[in-house]
Chains A and B, each alone.
Chain A
Amino acid sequence: MAALTAKNLRKSYGDQEVVAGVSFAIVPGECFGLLGPNGAGKTTTLRLCLGLADPDGGSVELMRHPVPGDARAARARVGVVPQMDNLDPDFTVAENLLIYGRYFGIPDRIIRERIPQLLEFAGLAARAGARIQTLSGGMKRRLTLARALINDPDLIFMDEPTTGLDPQARHLIWERLKRLLAQGKTILLTTHFMEEAERLCARLAIMDRGRFIAEGSPRELISRHIEPHVAEVHGDGVMEWADGEAGALASRVEKSGETVFCYAADPAPLLASLALRPELRYLHRAADLEDVFLKLTGRELRD
């Protein structure tokens, strides 16, 4: 039984179709990732799934409740970490959890039992009485995560949970999400950090212009869509080299700014050519999800 099923979802704003026929199902216990450039329709898809916007077409079933019709009941079993922090600035850290728990109709006694564990989980045990304005960005994100867990949800929606965080804070969030997955929670994650998706998601979909353009595990996507070897080349004369012999040595050559990306199944001829040109500097590495992402969604800016 799926935790969330979306069928052929559609949503337009004016004449722009932001979500253009999206279908997916999330099984309990998995972490499903929605990857896409800014404006791909990720957040709108989440809003449709939560019943916060009415779809123009298609259907959603969330925790066995039809959405938006029965969204209240569905959301009772769900936690949400929104993209923008919206902690309640009129309250302390612990009060934020208490007030939020009440929104779920949970008795105060039970919320008060949960608060110390949640603060512990969020690494905020010492800050229970602190005002929200005194917290760092990472602390706010962790508190938002703790708040999303106040109702002990089965499914957690996370909209770009680590955007704007420093690497330390990001790694801490990832570690906590892995703990939640180990506890059997289901996670729906949107991100544009490939590393985040590769580390956390068992399955993911790449979304662009309102559609899913690829779906699978990170490994499947890499092996299906991209050559296994990549050389990133830069230095004087790299563009001439790229237009010249590189074309014959790599199966695909892409230019982005000052750098040339060469994709190949067999890297040996490429590396031999580069060895003869000391003015070119290069990094040879295995293809990763970012290569897939850039191949499928293009390298140009999206804002």
Chain B
Amino acid sequence: MRALAPPSVSLRFVPVWRRNLLVWRKLAVASILGNLADPMIYLLGLGYGLGSVLPQVAGVSYVTFLAAGMVCSSTMNTASFEAMYSAFSRMHMQRTWDAIMNAPINLDDVVLAELIWAASKSVLSGMAILAVIWALGLTGSPLSIWVLALVPVIGLTFGALGLAMTAYAWNYDFFMYYVTLFITPMIMLSGVFFPVNQLPPAFQMVAAFLPLTHAVELARPLLLGDIPRDIVLHLGVLLAYAAAAFYAATVLFRRRLLK
């Protein structure tokens, strides 16, 4: 039975990914600025504003501490929103997926294309904020270049989770639940704004299971010039979330669209 089979993907996903790229290119500048504005406001506003009244956090200035959190959370947001609102528009409102599936492209290919696209777009967003961090001199370490390798993994993780939500959604309002019940609390618990070890022990336990925590655990040392600890564990958790969510998304989309 096809319903629970593992994803059957092929290189046919590439033209679907290119389609999204072509649409994006028409609005590229506005899109990059839009993705950059939000994390910049937090980085500058909180980093310098709140930072000016704070002592050092985890041994560095607050804005330096915050930089890694902003890279991770803005990458996460871009991937999530692309995989939810934009993919939902293409699937449900515009029926673009239906048209694509009349060509020799399977649903699983389309879902893979959307995942890779969400990750690609989030890479642009993560790179843009990283460029700002470099420009502001918030990191001087050559290790920070490794954040570029981490960003696509974060994009895949949250792109896949977003797609699983999209497979369930019947309107845009549905995504608000995911954002307010999962994304927003996770930002508070994952060490984006303050160290996880400031949390009560029970919350630290919860944080250990959240994918964003593991992204921050990798990004922060790299920006501060240290080699992260437990690299395999953190990458493993992120990739496990990505794989499980992608599988769930393909199963749910099949149930929804291949009836």
Contacts and interface: CB of A to CB of B under 8 A. Distances in A.
Nearest to B94: A89
B12 A72 contact: yes
23 contacts: A13-B259, A50-B102, A52-B258, A53-B258, A54-B2, A54-B258, A68-B2, A72-B105, A73-B104, A75-B104, A82-B98, A82-B102, A88-B19, A88-B94, A90-B94, A91-B22, A100-B103, A102-B15, A103-B12, A103-B103, A104-B103, A147-B99, A151-B103
Given A13-B259, A86-B96, A89-B94, A105 B104 contact: yes
Contacts of B18: 102
A21 B10 CA distance: 33
Interface of B: 1-3, 10, 12, 15-16, 18-19, 22-23, 26, 94-96, 98-106, 258-259
Given A88-B94, A90-B23, A103-B15, A52 B99 contact: no
Contacts of A188: none
Most chain-A Cβ atoms within 10 A of its Cβ — which of B3, B12, B94, B99? B99
Contacts of B12: 72, 103, 105
Interface in A63-95: 68, 71-76, 78, 80, 82, 84, 86-91, 95
Query: Which residue of B95, B103, B258 has the most chain A CB atoms within 10 A of its CB atom?
Result: B103
Contacts of B105: 72, 103
Contacts of B26: 90
A88 B99 contact: yes
Contacts of A100: 99, 103
A180 interface: no
A125 interface: no
Contacts of B3: 54
Nearest to B27: A90
B259 A72 contact: no
A22 interface: no
Nearest to B254: A54
Given A52-B258, A86-B96, 16 more contacts: A13-B259, A72-B10, A72-B12, A74-B104, A75-B103, A76-B104, A80-B102, A82-B99, A82-B102, A88-B19, A88-B94, A89-B94, A99-B19, A103-B16, A103-B104, A105-B12
Nearest to A77: B104
Contacts of B15: 99, 102-103, 105
B166 to A, nearest CB: 18
A172 B16 CA distance: 32
Contacts of A84: 95, 98
Nearest to A11: B259
